[in-house]
Amino acid sequence: MKFSTKDLSRAEQVFSITGLQVGLAGQPDAAPVLDRIDLQIRAGETHCLVGESGSGKSVTSLATMGLLPKDALEVTGGRIQLKEVEITAASPSRMRDLRAKRVAMIFQEPMTALNPVLRVGAQIEEVLNMHTDLSAAEAKARTLDIMEQVHLPDVPRIYQAFPHQLSGGQRQRIMIAMALVLEPDLLIADEPTTALDVTTQLQILKLIAEMQQRHGTAVLFITHDMGVVAEIADTVSVMQKGRIVETAPIRELLTDPQMDYTRKLLQAVPNLTPRPARPVNGADAVLDVDNLQMTYGGTGWFSRSEGVRAARDVTFDIAPGRTLGIVGESGSGKSTVARCIMRLIDPTGGRVCVAGSDIARLSRRQLQPHRKHFQIVFQDPYRSLNPRWTVARSLCEGPINFGQPKAQALEHAAELLELVDLPRDALWRYPHQFSGGQRQRIAIARAVAMKPDLLVADEAVSALDVSVQAQVLDLLDDVQKRFGIAMLFITHDLRVAAQICDDVLVMQKGQVVEHGPAGAVLADPQHSYTKSLIEAAPGRDWDFANFRAVSAPSAIQGATV
């Protein structure tokens, strides 16, 4: 592996945190949220801050930006220094002046960070108008220039576009342009690639590295993805329960981690080595998809377009107890296929047979008795559960609707919670009282409550940190073994696909370009598109569990977009 080769020994220290403590506002006796944090970053350095959800990574970034939620969290000790400016002592007006000009931030979800009713060009210009004296013409020229620098296509068109008219990768590029247009001393990137597919993720990581080289920016990169850390980091700090437990150069941390917690994080990272193939038992397929078609638009009387063919001639089947993974970039048609199978949308052609019945053309009323045979686990555990319902009501709703007595459904719900390693008394709590990983366990329990023949997992672990992700993957595997469920696993993470899938189907622009056993597709891909996906996977050249590199060079360090 090609580690960072930057010589930072003579670089100026741009940013430092010394003894930082953050606590609950008005509760001096409560345990601190951040406990005596120390961290330093030099000019041109990429410092990765890693750890599980709840470890304090994002609180550290919010404290640096002066964005801690009022009346909830407050700095109770220590200093944050940005060159000559002490941020912890800065007034609100001083912090407004520093943001974007001296320190800027890229958020995880650009769709919520961008204003949906303003054109993206105007949003970049707003930064310039607030912090510079440039004329309107100069601000527009500067905006177009930074949009060119972040490699956006057709810049004049995108300048006039609204956020919803852009792809996820393009929106993230707009966020990077906004963050770097004033060439700040420090760039904070808080999980900027978590929701992106591997090829878009690679482009964004290369772009951040290129912009850093061009402007000499110090970067604080917050992530739970150790594959990304292996690609981009110069230095790494590991956080656990509000403390930094280990800090080291990237080579030292990955080859000789000193703390058990660091070793645990590294060993939880899935690799691209496919799982041992499970035997095919010859049973009839639970799911049989034949020549599935899905076209959006172009069907009205006055429409002149042919519409967008999101799925074309998709054919596959899944036997009981086996898992098929569908992988590909955003927009490849993965989720469209999953929604057609679940009949969340109506396919425009082909057959979808679940447990022996073709459900592709059934009406909503005709479909109702078949719903118990197929269930879905969605990507976002924070939105897949009704926040006003107790866990008991969420788990019992389906069985009761299909005629199970309430007392029996409640007992079964309690057994399911134990199955997913949650206590029985969690039945009477609400979703907001659980962590993200616990909510996903509840969502899995709800899906299994119907005793389905088919479970569809649509990016079910992409929002989880590596250790929780490993736990949920193990849980899915255990549930599948116990109940013999067939599983359709939608993911953009090839490492996850390698750990859980028996077979892999690769989609590009709505079509299947490669399909076969996971061992064959991932170890010896035949199609150029599959090869490009594997080459773009971060950390693919690293054996994290054994703390050693393999021969392939890094795709990020020293690369250009």
- In 256-379, where does DSSP find H-type helix? 260-267, 334-341, 364-367
3-state class (DSSP) for residue 271? coil
Across the range 311-329, mean pLDDT stands at 92
Number of domains in the chain: 1
Average pLDDT over all residues of the chain: 87
pLDDT at 559: 45
Q: Is residue 365 part of a domain?
A: yes
Task: Render pLDDT for 145-197 as a digit per residue (tens, 0 to 9).
Answer: 999 888 888 899 999 999 988 877 788 889 888 988 888 899 999 888 876 77
**What is the rounded CA–CA span in Å between residue 527 and residue 521?**
9
**What is the rounded CA–CA span in Å between residue 558 and residue 232?**
9
Across the range 306-317, mean pLDDT stands at 86
Domain of residue 517, residue span? 287-523
Q: Is residue 341 part of a domain?
A: yes
Task: Render pLDDT for 447-460 as a digit per residue (tens, 0 to 9).
Answer: 989 889 999 998 88
Based on DSSP, count helices (H) and strands (E) in the chain, helices before strands: 20, 22
- Residue 28 bridge partners (DSSP): none
Q: Are 184 and 206 in contact (CB under 8 A)?
A: no
Across the range 320-334, mean pLDDT stands at 89
Q: Are 456 and 375 in contact (CB under 8 A)?
A: yes
19 token code pair: 């003894």
With a cut of 90, say whether residue 274 has pLDDT above it.
no
Q: Are 232 and 223 in contact (CB under 8 A)?
A: no
With a cut of 60, say whether residue 297 has pLDDT above it.
yes
Task: Render pLDDT for 277-294 as a digit per residue (tens, 0 to 9).
Answer: 777 777 789 999 999 999
Give the pLDDT band (50/70/90) at residue 483: confident
254 token code pair: 């990955």
Task: Render pLDDT for 93-145 as a digit per residue (tens, 0 to 9).
Answer: 998 888 888 999 988 777 778 999 999 999 999 999 999 999 999 999 999 99
With a cut of 50, say whether residue 2 has pLDDT above it.
no
Burial 255-286 (b: 16+ CB within 10 A, else e): eebeeebbeebbbbbbbbebbeeeeeeeeebb
3-state class (DSSP) for residue 367? helix
Task: Render pLDDT for 397-437 as a digit per residue (tens, 0 to 9).
Answer: 999 998 899 999 999 999 999 888 889 989 999 988 887 77
pLDDT at 347: 93
**What is the rounded CA–CA span in Å between residue 286 and residue 284?**
6
pLDDT at 303: 52
Query: If residue 442 lies in a helix (H) or strand (E), which one and from where to where?
Result: helix 436-448
**Lowest mean pLDDT: which of 17-26, 46-55, 108-117?**
108-117
Across the range 336-346, mean pLDDT stands at 92
422 token code pair: 């949650």
Q: Is residue 194 part of a domain?
A: no
The rounded Cα 414 to chain-centroid distance in angstroms is 30
pLDDT at 25: 87
**What is the rounded CA–CA span in Å between residue 261 and residue 239?**
9
Report strand pairing: 542-543 vs 511-517: unpaired
Q: Phi/psi class of residue 310: alpha, beta or left (left: φ > 0; alpha: ψ in -120 to 50)?
A: alpha
Q: Phi/psi class of residue 350: alpha, beta or left (left: φ > 0; alpha: ψ in -120 to 50)?
A: left
pLDDT at 552: 47
At position 44, the amino acid (one-letter code) is G
**What is the rounded CA–CA span in Å between residue 50 and residue 447?**
32
**What is the rounded CA–CA span in Å between residue 116 and residue 119?**
8
Q: Is residue 59 part of a domain?
A: no
Q: Is residue 324 part of a domain?
A: yes
Across the range 231-256, mean pLDDT stands at 92
pLDDT at 271: 80
Output the CA torsion sign for 192, 196, 200, 201.
Answer: positive
* Residues whose CB is less than 8 angstroms from the CB of residue 204 and which lie 6 or more positions away in sequence, other chains included: 169, 172, 173, 176, 192, 193, 196
3-state helix vs strand vs coil in the chain, percent to 5: 40, 25, 40
With a cut of 90, say whether residue 248 has pLDDT above it.
yes
| CATH number of the domain enclosing 338 | 3.40.50.300
**What is the rounded CA–CA span in Å between residue 289 and residue 318?**
9
pLDDT at 551: 54
Q: Is residue 490 part of a domain?
A: yes
With a cut of 90, say whether residue 1 has pLDDT above it.
no
pTM for the model:
0.81
Output the CA torsion sign for 144, 146, 148, 152.
Answer: negative
- In 272-429, where does DSSP find H-type helix? 334-341, 364-367, 391-401, 406-419
- In 160-284, where does DSSP find H-type helix? 168-180, 198-215, 226-232, 250-255, 260-267
- In 342-379, where does DSSP find H-type helix? 364-367
Q: Is residue 121 part of a domain?
A: no
